[in-house]
Amino acid sequence: MKRIKYKADLDAQQLQWFQRQVLDWYRREGRDLPWRKTMDPYHIVVSEILLHQTTVKTVQPIYEKFLDTFPTIQDLAAAPLEAVKYITDPLGYKVRGSWLHQIAQTVVNDYAGQFPQTLEELLALPGVGRYTAGAVLSFAFGNDAPIVDTNVNRFIGRYFGIEYKRTNAEIQHQLWAVAEAIVPTGQAREFNNALMDMGAMVCTARKPYCLVCPVSQSCIQLQDDGVRAAEERVQYRIRERAQGS
């Protein structure tokens, strides 16, 4: 795989290989998470907003408690804001409780309880940016919509040789363009989850597990780091394993 900046740089053959490797790995090693058992857009939105800058482990019990307390979007819309914040505030970023409350009221009052299914309408909801909108479109509605969260940002940034740590507009545009170009037709739900799990479990922020990465052989970042860095990375993980996780 060559270093790419635009989707025109993608080689169709190599892209197909990449998609296959990532999907196969996901079917073997992917995480089984509560919000992956549903396609209800209400459940998806709740999970995604709770997951903003918040770890999966921290969110899981809160997610269960939230839906247990507000089983339907009508329940959430009718609840007092304080009851919502009581559950969500302990996570930090305390504005998220009111975001969810407002979203519920908007969907119930303006959309007859049915979530909007267009990018534009979703982006108009409070607390819903490009990532969350893409998550709803792909996870709930099965659209071939891309997502770029911190995991995807890092994984495809490294693999395709994009300077993912820089936050300027051009880099972000490139990452989104690549994320959109690599989604396999009709498989966005599974593939987007796979990309996130790769970022969370293999292509980690610190000390990535290149040793067990299914696409390491064509990773630009690994090539740039060189053989010596790659070897050190492997040795680090071997020592770690010897000490017993």
Partner DNA sequence: AAACCGGGGAA
Partner DNA sequence: TTCCCAGGTTT
Active site residues: 48
Please report how close the Cβ of residue 31 comes to DNA at its closest, in angstroms.
Answer: 7
93 sits in the region (left: phi over 0; alpha: psi -120 to 50; else beta) called left
Q: Is 243 in the site for DNA (CB under 7 A)?
A: no
> Which residue bears the tokens 């770690």?
240
Residue 18 in contact with residue 191, Cβ under 8 Å?
Answer: no
Choose one: 15-23, 107-115, 120-128, 211-219; the region binding DNA (CB under 7 A): 120-128
Residues that bind DNA (rule: CB under 7 A) add up to a total of: 43
CB 43 within 8 A of CB 12: no
Binding test (CB under 7 A) with DNA, winner from 54, 106, 117, 187: 54
Provide the token pair at 73: 């979007």
- The footprint of DNA on residues 59-118 (CB under 7 A) is 90-95
Q: How far is the CB of 14 from DNA (least distance, A)?
A: 26
Which tokens hold the place of 161? 């040789």
Choices 11-19, 110-118, 126-134, 218-226 (CB under 7 A): range interacting with DNA: 126-134
Structure tokens at 177: 């363009």
Distance of closest approach, residue 128 Cβ to DNA, in angstroms: 6
133 lines the binding site for DNA (CB under 7 A): yes
> In 166-211, which ranges are E strands?
none
User: Minimal distance in Å, beta carbon 51 to DNA?
Assistant: 3
Element (H, E) at 213: none
Instruction: Return the closest-CA partner of residue 230 out of 209, 214, 245, 244.
Output: 209
Residues that bind DNA (CB under 7 A): 31, 33, 35-36, 47-48, 51-58, 90-95, 126-133, 135, 149-151, 154, 167-169, 193, 196-197, 199-200, 205-206
